Amino acid sequence: MLFNTYALVCLSFLVGVQAVGRAIVTNQCDEPIYLWSVGGSISAQNTIAKDTSYSETFHRDPASGGIALKISPLEGGIFKPNASQTIFSYNLDVNQIWYDMSDVFGDGFAGRTLSIKPTDSSCDAIAWGSGKPPAGSQVKNCQASTDLELTFCTNHCLPSWYPCGNNAPNDRRVCCTHCIGSHHCVAPL
């Protein structure tokens, strides 16, 4: 009888536990990017080098509720006055994850592609083709078990000052917005 009660309590606990996904930030840019996980406190700086990722399991902050992954192209960027930040925010709400992306203090990743893609293809992605937020709301939601991956310089998109076209014949990366002739990849005006 004691064993059956114990087994029933354990089973109830396991059924109540929900699978939780991760927030992943991947850098495919040639330069490092810098990330801080911010809720009721600020994490240490995480440097994300080319072709590496940072990830954390979705969680709720006891003080703020939601989490903001603040990303800057500058080392120490969130502590520098008016330094640009891209913010990947998420809020875990029982069985759902709410997420969005925004910029503050300018568009530090202008000319580069940025995208958040859920592992569940039925959930909405967020894409910034030129590294700037499009008009309208970017808030999306999905079930909490999905992973959300924010990728900078998707497919190794070239920053705006890099050569492209005929000036980069062995480089298979796609220009961020467009080439002017065969000279340089540039962001739209």
Whether residue 162 is found in the same domain as residue 183 = yes
> What residues does 145 pair with on adjacent strands?
none
Question: To which residue do tokens 């759902």 refer?
Answer: 96
Most confident of 14-18, 39-43, 111-115: 39-43
pLDDT score for 34: 97
Task: Answer yes or no: is 12 within a domain.
Answer: no
pLDDT score for 10: 44
Q: Is the pLDDT of residue 7 over 60?
A: no
- Contact 23/56 with Cβ under 8 angstroms? yes
pLDDT score for 9: 42
pLDDT classification of 3: cutoffs 50, 70, 90: very low
Whether residue 75 is found in the same domain as residue 53 = yes
Please state, in angstroms and rounded to a whole number, the distance separating the CA atoms of residues 54 and 48. 7
Burial track 124-135 (b if 16+ CB lie within 10 A, e otherwise): eebebbbbbbee
Whether residue 164 is found in the same domain as residue 148 = no
pLDDT digits over 115-165, tens only?
999 999 999 999 888 788 887 678 999 999 999 999 998 766 555 555 565
Please state, in angstroms and rounded to a whole number, the distance separating the CA atoms of residues 105 and 79. 12
Domain extent, residue 27, equals 17-155
Task: Answer yes or no: is 1 within a domain.
Answer: no
Whether residue 76 is found in the same domain as residue 110 = yes
pLDDT score for 140: 95
Whether residue 122 is found in the same domain as residue 44 = yes
Concatenated DSSP letters of 116-154: EEESSTTSPPEEETTSSPPSS---EEEETTS-EEEEESG
Nearest to 124 by CA among 137, 112, 106, 142: 142
The CATH number given to whatever domain includes residue 109 is 2.60.110.10
pLDDT score for 4: 46
Q: Is the pLDDT of residue 15 over 60?
A: no
Q: Is the pLDDT of residue 182 over 90?
A: no
Please state, in angstroms and rounded to a whole number, the distance separating the CA atoms of residues 110 and 154. 13
pLDDT score for 159: 54
Q: What residue type is 142 in one-letter code? A: C
Nearest to 72 by CA among 118, 113, 31: 31
The answer for residues whose C-beta is within 8 angstroms of residue 86's C-beta and 6 or more apart is 70, 71, 72, 101, 102, 103, 108, 109, 114
Task: Answer yes or no: is 4 within a domain.
Answer: no
Task: Answer yes or no: is 79 within a domain.
Answer: yes
pLDDT digits over 67-126, tens only?
999 999 999 999 999 999 999 999 999 899 999 999 999 988 888 889 999 999 999 999
Q: Is the pTM of this model over 0.85?
A: no
Q: How many residues does the chain have?
A: 189
pLDDT score for 132: 85
